[in-house]
């Protein structure tokens, strides 16, 4: 359209039409510029969306403590980023360090560090809860598979065996996930494979994902799941014992730093303190 208007203006030879064609070209360039700007803005929004999705996945893995959502968690982060420096200002003011708060530009870095620590504190807490929940699931998974294997080998189908496991298993994160999976399959009409995949994606644990993959494959091939569950249970127990051995081998190395920093100085003070005091007294006389 712009080319046609420009050609028409040149044929007519009128300055007005030529200017009109140039204006249309300029409007076309500005439109393309705005379109590129909108694309960049949508890219920023998608980046924010990815952050919100990551927070939502982390909250799901942590079991959604307190019914938090991603928006609530971001609000807590902002609130902590504002409140954490204020709290430390009050503490320093009560401790008699009021002059320290206004000593110079270096306090800006101090306040920024406190704000960053406050912003990261809720996120670190949620990550710790997610790791604790994953560890709880990893510890309970072999026992759950044993009970599920016994139920299946006793003649129950998978749904009835899962219901029995939910009824008999001790309370915990794994029982909650199994109860939710059973509720989705039996009452909401969701497919078993889909419910199992969603459970594995919520927990995000490698051992549970391996078990779910084996169950889905057995269901697709029509193979009996009893032997598969027993093999998976033995593998998980082997992995758990290997993790325990690894933790036992790492324990002395982890104890070395507290031993050097906390215990050894106290031992040196107890042993060498009286000797040093006696040497000082002898030197004074």
pTM of structure: 0.68
- Distance separating alpha carbons of residues 141 and 247, to the nearest angstrom: 19
Exposed (0-12), middle (13-18) or buried (19+): which is 144, by Cβ within 10 Å? Answer: buried
Residue 13 has pLDDT above 60, yes or no: no
Residue 22 has pLDDT above 70, yes or no: no
Asked whether 212 and 196 are in contact (CB, 8 A), the reply is yes
Which is more confidently placed, 41 or 172?
172
Per-residue model confidence (pLDDT) at position 134: 92
Residue 1 has pLDDT above 80, yes or no: no
Per-residue model confidence (pLDDT) at position 102: 65
Residue 273 has pLDDT above 90, yes or no: no
pLDDT band of residue 256 (cuts 50, 70, 90) is confident
């Amino acid at each position: 359209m712009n080319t046609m208007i420009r050609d028409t203006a040149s044929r007519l030879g009128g300055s007005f039409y030529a200017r009109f064609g140039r204006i249309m070209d300029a409007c076309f360039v500005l439109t393309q510029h705005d379109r590129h700007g909108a694309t960049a803005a949508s890219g920023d929004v998608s980046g924010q969306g990815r952050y919100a999705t990551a927070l939502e996945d982390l909250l799901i893995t942590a079991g959604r403590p307190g019914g938090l959502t991603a928006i609530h968690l971001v609000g807590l982060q902002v609130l902590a980023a504002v409140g954490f420096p204020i709290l430390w200002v009050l503490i320093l003011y009560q401790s008699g360090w009021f002059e320290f708060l206004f000593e110079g530009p270096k306090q800006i870095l101090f306040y920024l560090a406190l704000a960053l620590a406050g912003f990261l504190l809720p996120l670190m807490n949620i990550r710790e809860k997610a790791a604790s929940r994953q560890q709880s699931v990893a510890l309970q998974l072999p026992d759950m598979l044993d009970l599920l294997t016994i139920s299946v080998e006793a003649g129950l189908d998978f749904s009835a065996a899962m219901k029995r496991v939910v009824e008999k298993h001790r309370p915990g994160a794994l029982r909650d996930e199994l109860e939710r999976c059973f509720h989705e399959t039996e009452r909401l009409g969701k497919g078993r494979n889909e419910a199992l995949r969603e459970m594995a994606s919520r927990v995000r644990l490698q051992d549970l994902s391996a078990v779910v993959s084996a169950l889905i494959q057995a269901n697709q091939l029509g193979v009996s799941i009893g032997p598969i569950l027993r093999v998976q249970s033995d593998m998980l127990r082997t992995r758990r014992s290997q993790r325990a051995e690894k933790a036992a081998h790492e324990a002395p190395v982890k104890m070395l730093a507290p031993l050097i920093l906390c215990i050894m100085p106290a031992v040196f003070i107890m042993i060498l303190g009286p000797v040093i005091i006696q040497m000082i007294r002898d030197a004074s006389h």
